[in-house]
A and B are shown apart, each in its own frame.
Chain A
Amino acid sequence: MTEEPQDEIPGEVTRAVFYERRTYRRRRMVDATRLLPILGVVLFLIPLLWQGEEGARTTDVMIYIFGIWALLAGLSGLVSRDLGRDRSGSDSEAGADVDALETPGGEGR
């Protein structure tokens, strides 16, 4: 007895609408990685608002800048560690998945 052929259009990539929990989390981590530098830009520009009549002192700004710096490095460490853990966990699959997700659109796609 032969099996019934699957009702599938050849050549069409079928992608799940919902991802399993780990893949989902990984994607959100990628989002976070992308958002971090934007957050950083905003936070680093904030001291410019403090200039004026009675401007802030260099020491205050210095403490703020270095605080944010450490915060960004810490967040980046957390996020990238999360990405790394998943990669070592179920290797190529999740990696390829995110890669495919990541690629920006171009002509001919």
Chain B
Amino acid sequence: MTTPNLLVLVCILYVTFLFAVAFAADRAALKGRGTWLRSPLIYTLSLSIYCTAWTFYGAVGYAARSGLEFVTIYLGPTLVMIGWWWTLRKMVRIGRSQRITSIADMISSRYGKSNTLAVFVTLIAVVGTTPYIALQLQSVTLSFAAFSKVDPTLTSVVRLRSTGLYVAIGLAVFTILFGTRNVDANERHHGVVMAIALEAVVKLFALLAVGVFVVWGLGDGISNTLDVIDASKIAEWDVPGGRWAGLTMLSAAAFICLPRIFQVMVVENEDEGHLRTATWAFPVYLMLMSLFVIPIAAVGLKLMPSDANPDLFVLTLPLLAGEDSLAILSFLGGFSSATSMVIVAAIALSTMVSNHIVMPIWLRMRGGTAMVAGDVRDVALLARRLSIAGVVMLGYLYFRLSGAGTALAAIGLVSFVGLSQFLPALMGGLFWRGATRMGALAGLSVGFLLWLYCLFLPSFGPGVLLPVSVIEHGLLGQSWLRPQALFGAQGMDKVVHAVMWSMLLNCAAFLLVSLLTFPKPVERLQGAQFVNVFDHSSRPGSWTGGLAQSEDLLIMTQRIMGATEAQALFSGMARKQGLTGYLPEPSTEFLGVLERELSGSVGAATAHAMISQIVGRATVSVEDLLAVADEAAQIMEYSSRLEAKSAEQARTARQLREANDKLTKLSVQKDSFLSQVSHELRTPMTSIRAFSEILRDAGGLNPEEQQKYSSIIYDESRRLTRLLDDLLDLSVLESGQVTLNMQLGLLSDMLDRAVAATGGTVDGFRIERDLPSEQIVLNTDVDRLSQVFINLIANAHKYCDADQPVLRIEVRSAGDKLEIDFADNGTGIQMADQTVIFEKFARIGVSRAAGAGLGLAICREIMARLGGEISYVPGQSGAAFRVTLPQEMCMAAH
């Protein structure tokens, strides 16, 4: 007869064997020999930690209670696995490219390496995994009890508890020995993976052996066994549709979110290609594990007493038949299932706890630098060991509290629902760039709280953690707040109920808050890296140069990775950069590599924080973004400057064009003037010559004729003189050599003189003046100003083409100027000519009245000398000229 002592011995031997295998595998991996260690088969087998004691013992119990429903727990992962191209492939790729260490690391990395989020995910993972670990403890404890012939349903609670405690302590020690031999979680645990793979084989083999024994040993072949099933109470196919679909979905979600699955699938992954094998091999494994569950349950129901715990049929059926060795094999299978789960789950959780909770706190207590004192490695290892012990003990606590009487599957489902709360944040992070940190936090908290309230707390039974009144009448007596009939959803299965509300509101909160909040720069960067991981797998966010001290980095890295590894890494990088020695340039590439290496040991958030402490800059700091924005602004400014410049050039070009037009026009005018001048000069010269010849040659001229001819000669020479005087005058004025003869004079006097000089109001020419306004004393060159007035009046005389020509002279003061307008009632000057009338030689309407075209040019020069100006005023009834004088020249006349 098998005694508990023998079982303990078997367990110890088995564990020692596992340890030896793990050790050998580690050694082989170290020497680079065990290529077979990295085969896709090992990977697939390691995934089988999905099948825990829940599967090994609980599935049969589940089937004995609810028939085929148990299979949903394996259909979900099967669907996820064959749909690897959708999600798993991306997760594995991201895990490898970002050196992800845990699911908390994954989520926190995605949302801007936020440690708050990592802490939150870690807490949920710890709380969510606790029932699962309790389940393992319970199953191992029960299996011990089954052997000790104590009726499992009536076990003395004291015995169970003490066994549970021993099992918990044993598992914790075992896991610490196994899982924390090296600190880099990303430096794959070859030994652990190998041991898990071996355990996977053991549990599959054990379950198949029991199945074969039950079908062919106890049930007399397949057809007879099918008859037994048909005759049992689970013969009817009556699984509720909601539970069938809901649990399949739930198990699929849990498969993606479970920390331990994440650990073996993503963190321990050696090669993405392994996933391709696992995509069919893992469903086959699951199928084989489930194959004999229904037959074992049916035969157990038939053969075992009605009060036997169906969770233990796998063990009690061989015992009943007296097959002790098969029973021990079966026990080992169950033990394997439980230990592998606890080991990997504890490793995964301890990594999270130490990376995201202990290390940040420790670093902060250390004054924010990683290099002052102490060995980070030791701290990390210690943190991990303590977390493992803590996690396992939490499981034990749950086991104690929940009373160890619940069906295994029910406990497992509680855990599944809790961990599935990661799904929206995880999937949203992988596929939606709009997902934000706040959204993830909101979704996770809503889902977590609902799970606690609807499923976790009630799972201890009424009155343990949640008062009976709350369960029956709702929180604060509000019946719509009843934990198992939230919002009036009565009559639902409580698991489906919890899944529905928690996932629904989790997703809603996640989406809504994501839509409403704005992500930080690092978050957006990481979002792009995750969502588009296949576009740029190789490079995570880069460090922006900076003057990091390579030596400081080396010191820090040695503390974390160990001296040899750190020096190897640094000198390798230095060689790559073409340098000798141990200190590479702190280039962007090097810092990126270093961060990824460190994140393998301490998690992305911590590694990032440590490097930024030394380098002094975060991946994308606000300064960087500002610099980028600044650059953009500079570019914009430059382009706007270019634009301004080109506008200016256009303006200049326009001015040049105008000037050119003017020049061309003037040149034409000058040509015409020259011909005019030569004509003007020639006409008097011709008459002078002709008449002087007559006077010289023709004798016998009477005195009258002589008088007449010589006066013609005289007049013509005067005309010539005047013309030459004008030219001389203008040239003197232009060269600035003129001397002004300043004196006081009355404006009206000057105008009187000018009117008189031009012949006054003869030939019907009328001049309108306003005498009172002209009573202004001016301090000016009276002669020159009069010359201007004469010129203007003479022009009006000459050019006004009205039938009854009228010249109006108006005097008024405008601000600090005195304006004198000379406006006639003729046709005025055409627009095109207005620009040139003040130029030298400018004459309008070439053929019209005589004149050299110098008058207005002289006027302009005179006015410029006097500090005033003369301009043409367009838009009057005729030609209008305005003479403007500075007011200071004026003195009121009295």
Contact = CB atoms under 8 A, between A and B. Distances in A.
Contacts of B82: 33, 36-37, 40, 72-73, 75-76
B287 A106 contact: no
A56 B874 CA distance: 107
B230 interface: yes
Contacts of A80: 276-277, 279-280
A58 B283 contact: no
A66 interface: yes
A69 B532 CA distance: 33
A106 B435 CA distance: 12
A106 B532 contact: yes
Contacts of A70: 284, 287
Contacts of B273: 84, 87
A45 B239 CA distance: 11
Contacts of A5: none
Contacts of A102: 85, 534
Contact of A69 (B244, B287, B531): B287
Chain B's interface: helix, strand, loop or mixed, by majority? Answer: helix
A94 interface: no
A107 interface: yes
B227 to A, nearest CB: 9
Nearest to A29: B85
A48 B535 contact: no
Interface stretch (B71-79, B357-365, B751-759, B761-769): B71-79
Interface string B523-562: 0000010011111000000000000000000000000000
A21 interface: no
A76 B68 contact: no
A57 B85 contact: no
A75 B67 CA distance: 28
A100 B287 contact: no
Interface in A51-109: 51, 55-62, 65-66, 69-70, 72-77, 80-81, 83-84, 87, 99-100, 102-104, 106-109
Contacts of B241: 48, 51
Contacts of B244: 45, 47-48
Contact of A51 (B85, B237, B294): B237
Contacts of A73: 78, 82, 280-281, 283-284, 287
Contacts of B230: 57-59
Contact of B528 (A36, A40, A106): A106
Contacts of B81: 76
Nearest to B284: A73
Interface in B281-295: 281, 283-284, 286-287, 290-291, 294
Contacts of B431: 104
B226 interface: yes
Nearest to A56: B237
B113 interface: no
B283 A34 contact: no
Interface string A19-61: 0000000000010011011101100110110110001111111
A66 B433 CA distance: 39
Contact of A58 (B67, B79, B277): B67
A59 B238 contact: no
B24 interface: no
A107 B431 CA distance: 11
A36 to B, nearest CB: 5
Contact of B79 (A40, A81, A104, A108): A40
A72 B77 CA distance: 13
B226 A40 contact: no
Given A30-B85, A40-B79, A59-B235, A66 B291 contact: yes
B84 A33 contact: yes
A58 B291 contact: no
A107 B248 contact: no
Best-surrounded residue of A30, A51, A55 (most CB of chain B within 10 A)? A51
Contacts of B283: 69, 72-73, 76
Interface in B129-167: none
Contacts of A48: 239, 241, 244-245
B181 to A, nearest CB: 34
A70 B434 CA distance: 39
A: interface residue count bin: 35 or more
Best-surrounded residue of B78, B237, B281, B528 (most CB of chain A within 10 A)? B237
A55 B84 contact: no
B83 interface: yes
A80 B81 CA distance: 12
B86 interface: yes
B229 interface: yes
B513 interface: no
B287 A57 contact: no
A62 B68 contact: yes
B68 A106 contact: no
Contacts of B267: none
A37 B284 contact: no
A109 B280 contact: no
A106 B294 contact: no
B287 A58 contact: no
A100 B533 CA distance: 10
B234 interface: yes
B235 A57 contact: yes
B661 to A, nearest CB: 44
Contacts of B286: 69
A103 B230 CA distance: 49
Contacts of A45: 244-245
B534 A100 contact: yes
Nearest to B242: A48
B78 A69 contact: yes
B280 A51 contact: no
Contacts of B245: 45, 48
Interface string B254-271: 000000000000000000
Given A30-B85, A37-B83, A84 B433 contact: no
B433 A107 contact: yes
A51 B78 CA distance: 24
Given A33-B84, A37-B83, A58-B237, A76 B279 contact: yes
B658 interface: no
Nearest to A108: B528
A56 B235 CA distance: 9
A62 B230 CA distance: 11
Contacts of B290: 66
B119 interface: no
A72 B78 contact: yes
B284 A50 contact: no
Interface in B777-836: none
Contacts of B534: 99-100, 102-103
A62 B63 CA distance: 12
B527 to A, nearest CB: 8
B610 interface: no
B729 interface: no
Nearest to B285: A73
Contacts of A84: 273, 276
Nearest to B67: A58
25 contacts: A37-B82, A40-B79, A40-B82, A47-B244, A48-B244, A51-B237, A55-B238, A57-B235, A58-B230, A58-B236, A59-B235, A60-B237, A62-B68, A65-B71, A65-B75, A69-B287, A72-B78, A73-B78, A74-B280, A76-B82, A100-B535, A103-B535, A106-B528, A106-B531, A107-B433
Interface of B: 67-68, 71, 75, 78-86, 226, 229-230, 234-239, 241, 244-245, 248, 273, 276-277, 279-281, 283-284, 286-287, 290-291, 294, 431, 433-434, 528, 531-535
Nearest 4 A/B pairs, CB to CB: A37-B83, A77-B280, A76-B280, A73-B283
Interface of A: 30, 33-34, 36-38, 40-41, 44-45, 47-48, 50-51, 55-62, 65-66, 69-70, 72-77, 80-81, 83-84, 87, 99-100, 102-104, 106-109
Given A58-B236, A66-B291, 7 more contacts: A34-B83, A36-B83, A47-B244, A59-B229, A73-B287, A103-B534, A107-B434
